Chain A
Amino acid sequence: MPVDVEAVVLSNTRLSDEYNVVALEAPEIAGRAAPGQFVMVKPWHGTDPLLRRPFSIFEVLASSAAGPAGITLLNKKVGVGTARLYQVEPGQRVACLGPLGRPFTAIDPPGEAWMVAGGVGLAPFATLAAALRARGTPATLFYGGRRHTELYHLDLFERLGTRLVLATEDGSRGHRGLVTEPLEAELGAKRGGDVTLYACGPTLMMRAVAALAAAHGRRAEVSLEPVMGCGLGGCYSCVVRTRRAHGAPHFVRSCLEGPVFDAAEIVWDELA
């Protein structure tokens, strides 16, 4: 059950000119959140822009004894709403509704989890990595960015025991090129075992992961990031065409039936 809070901004850590991490005091949301879920936030007052924005829950902040204290959001400035979230100051209050949406299905050992993140698509994987760690599931993060300075919070994943496979477009760290290239190589080299892929990032990357998973007979979940109006199923703006076992492809609301989908269900031609 989601709750709506006027969350106090605890901190705003600007990672670059584009990226920042905002910590919000929201114990009610933090205590309910599952990996891959999102919140609808509005870090401004007034009607321009009008609507809240969806953000994956990045981290759940632990407090000393009384349970989770809040959440963080990983943000990249791309439009007017994300620019406002980049600018928030500690002490400011932010309308925050959540947790919302269908979470990832964290698999158990001896299965392995391979997460694939592109850019700000890293956001849902910190909580998934923590959940996998708690289950003892071996986890790998394939993480791609434009350059080494845009690969964030690697230490967070290292502390969780996540194996890192990095890629940068300029070759300044890890593989030079797309993150799906080392993923393809490892999928090809992997014999047997139970590997589940989890992807979030640019649509073309997620589509490539879906295709690689299908080609190698692996299951994949993707976290889509469509434009959302309300986050609660009221407006029907965030639909994605999906193909289920029965019937014709059909628009479903990603706020309710996603944002995490089985990659094989998505009609990718209509997304990218």
Chain B
Amino acid sequence: MTDLSVTLGPLRLKSPLIAASGCFGYGVEYADVVDLSSLGAVAVKGLFLAEREGHPPPRIAETPSGMLNAIGLQGIGVHRFVREKLPELERLGATVIVNICGSTLDEYVEVTKVLSDAHGVAALELNISCPNIKEGGIQFGCSLTGTHDVVSAVRRATSLPVIPKLTPNVTDVAAFARAAEEAGADAVSLVNTFLAMAIDVETRRPKLSNVLGGLSGPAIRPIAVRMVYECRQATALPIIGVGGIASAADALEFAIAGASAVQVGTASFVDPLIWPKLTAGIEDYLTRHGLARWTDLVGTLDTADRSGV
């Protein structure tokens, strides 16, 4: 019997597998096909204070081994979420990580306070990395001082675990992990999507209404693994690895690179029943390798020089 539980600072999860924000609605949509209580956590779709309409369609476009999206953070707002979704998630036994957004520092703090007063929130994931909206989010995530400021402000406003979600659209993501650590984050999740673009050559029009979008899926996985590895060298914070995970082997790769937990997003669009398959694959691997715990695998990359052997 293998132990898959993980500890991310003050947050304890029964499994390292987390449904990625933006890829799982508010979780309740999946209750018919996924046992939400079997997941480490559900990271719900990003929430602002108020409701948002998001971008017009087309909102997604496929690319080789990946997809672009520019949804524009359509959402019901934090108040409706607390009223309409949170009780249902609790009834379903889900561990809930709420992804929070803001156009301003004050909005992040306001959303944080609403969720801190609510019952049934396990942690806050700070969306400072959505590439698809003009205001807010990324303006914090692409500046070291912005990242420090927003993490500090949220940190002061809540006793819930605070997990900034980092963008890969910077030169040195490890510097942002350090900034988050210095500002009092409990963990970091990385990466959000890569800013990208696709064009219909016949019409010469962008494939997304927003012109630019975020690339996700297996196409980005090697870059995400590299970024997790770099952050592992730079910070002591627990890392949640995200980016193109579609199999147990992919999740294990992130763990070896240094991720204490992982999020799965795009792959659950393709296979909504992926979760027990991932769990079984991870357990099989740990057994084969004589490891009693998932955590025994985390950060065990072997980079020893064997050229002389």
Contacts and interface: CB of A to CB of B under 8 A. Distances in A.
B25 A50 contact: no
Contacts of B32: 1-2
Nearest to B20: A234
A227 B56 contact: no
A208 to B, nearest CB: 21
Contact of A50 (B33, B53, B217): B217
Contacts, number: 93
A34 to B, nearest CB: 15
Contacts of A50: 62, 65-67, 217-218, 266, 270
Interface string B46-79: 0000000110111110101111010100100000
Interface string A212-239: 0000000000000011011011111111
Interface string A51-70: 11000000000000000000
A42 B32 CA distance: 20
Q: Interface majority SS on A: helix, strand, loop or mixed? A: loop
A49 interface: yes
Contacts of A51: 62, 67, 269-270
Given A47-B65, A234-B268, A237-B60, A4 B273 contact: yes
A234 B57 CA distance: 16
A132 B219 CA distance: 47
A4 B69 CA distance: 25
A236 B59 contact: yes
A47 B71 contact: no
A270 B56 contact: yes
Contact of A2 (B33, B45, B74, B217): B33
26 contacts: A1-B32, A2-B32, A4-B33, A4-B271, A4-B273, A47-B64, A47-B217, A48-B65, A50-B65, A50-B217, A51-B269, A52-B269, A52-B270, A230-B272, A232-B25, A233-B25, A234-B30, A234-B269, A235-B69, A235-B71, A236-B71, A237-B58, A237-B59, A237-B60, A239-B54, A256-B29
Pairs A-B, 8 closest by C-beta atoms: A233-B29, A230-B269, A47-B65, A237-B60, A237-B59, A1-B32, A234-B25, A236-B71
Interface of B: 22-25, 29-30, 32-33, 45, 53-54, 56-60, 62, 64-67, 69, 71, 74, 217-218, 246, 266, 268-273
Interface of A: 1-2, 4, 42, 47-52, 95, 97, 226-227, 229-230, 232-241, 250-251, 256, 270
